[in-house]
């Protein structure tokens, strides 16, 4: 299964691949060079299909848990001052996504969307300290019943050139449902209340809608 954001690109990729394959057959006289060209075409097509995949997952939704919004690796867990919405200290948890990860962004909690904003910006590498504030990004805040306001921020990187954000202020959303899509890599930051019990560690691999980032044991 593939994500809807990839339908146009996948169709175009198949057409271009077919044209290149036919061209290679008629323009390249050397059999080994022709096979090499076809192999490169197939690899590029495979990578595009891999990027836009949207596998079915059995979500175990729980209002007492905060789920990972994306697939990737935890690269930051630290206390920071969040400038855009909260304007106070929060616990930031950042997840880096490689081009091979599933790139669907999911709501880490369910509730009411109280803030959603797009920011044009730079395309610094995703692990750059200033990428969270200077890169192209979207900020979404969902007010949940158990945790209060939870902010997640999609951040473009050096390769990612397109962020898709479905969140609209006033919407009621379900935990684990699609919040957006980041095309070709980058990262997502989550800002949690101080004192939130974190269930993951640095460099741990996580899955969107599956891995429990934090939970409320009360």
Residue 129 neighbours by CB under 8 Å, 6+ apart: none
Nearest of 135, 139, 133, 106 to residue 209 by alpha carbon: 106
Residues facing 180 on adjacent strands: 105, 165
Measured between alpha carbons, how far is 169 from 167 in angstroms, rounded to an integer? 7
Q: Which residue in 164, 169, 161, 198 sits closest to 181, CA to CA? A: 164
What are the backbone dihedrals phi and psi of residue 164, each rounded to the nearest 5 degrees, phi first? -110, 125
Active site residue 94: no
Q: Which helix (H) or strand (E) holds 23?
A: helix 7-27
Partner residues linked to 89 by β-bridges: 81
Q: Which of 68, 131, 179, 186 is catalytic?
A: 186
Burial of 135 (0-12, 13-18, 19+ CB in 10 A): buried
Measured CA to CA, the distance from residue 16 to residue 13 in angstroms comes to 5
Q: Which residue has the tokens 């050096």?
A: 158
Alpha-carbon Rg for the chain in angstroms:
20
Q: Which residues are catalytic?
A: 186
């Amino acid at each position: 299964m593939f994500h809807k954001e990839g339908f146009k690109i996948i169709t175009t990729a198949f057409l271009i691949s077919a044209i290149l394959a036919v061209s290679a057959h008629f323009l390249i006289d050397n059999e080994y060079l022709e096979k090499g060209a076809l192999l490169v075409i197939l690899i590029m097509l495979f990578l595009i299909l891999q990027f836009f995949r949207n596998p079915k997952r059995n979500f175990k939704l729980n209002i007492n848990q905060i789920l990972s919004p994306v697939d990737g690796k935890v690269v930051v867990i630290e206390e920071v001052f969040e400038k855009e919405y909260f304007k106070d200290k929060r616990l930031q948890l950042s997840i880096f996504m490689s081009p091979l990860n599933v790139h669907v962004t999911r709501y880490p909690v369910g509730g009411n969307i109280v803030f959603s904003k797009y920011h044009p910006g730079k395309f610094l590498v995703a692990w750059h300290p200033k990428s969270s504030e200077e890169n192209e990004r979207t900020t979404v805040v969902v007010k949940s019943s158990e945790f209060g306001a939870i902010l997640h921020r999609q951040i473009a990187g050096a390769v990612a050139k397109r962020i898709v954000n479905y969140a609209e202020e006033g919407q009621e959303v379900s935990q684990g449902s699609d919040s957006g899509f980041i095309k070709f890599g980058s990262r997502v930051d989550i800002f949690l209340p101080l004192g939130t019990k974190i269930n993951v560690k640095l460099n741990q691999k996580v899955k969107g809608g599956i891995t429990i980032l934090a939970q409320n044991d009360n």
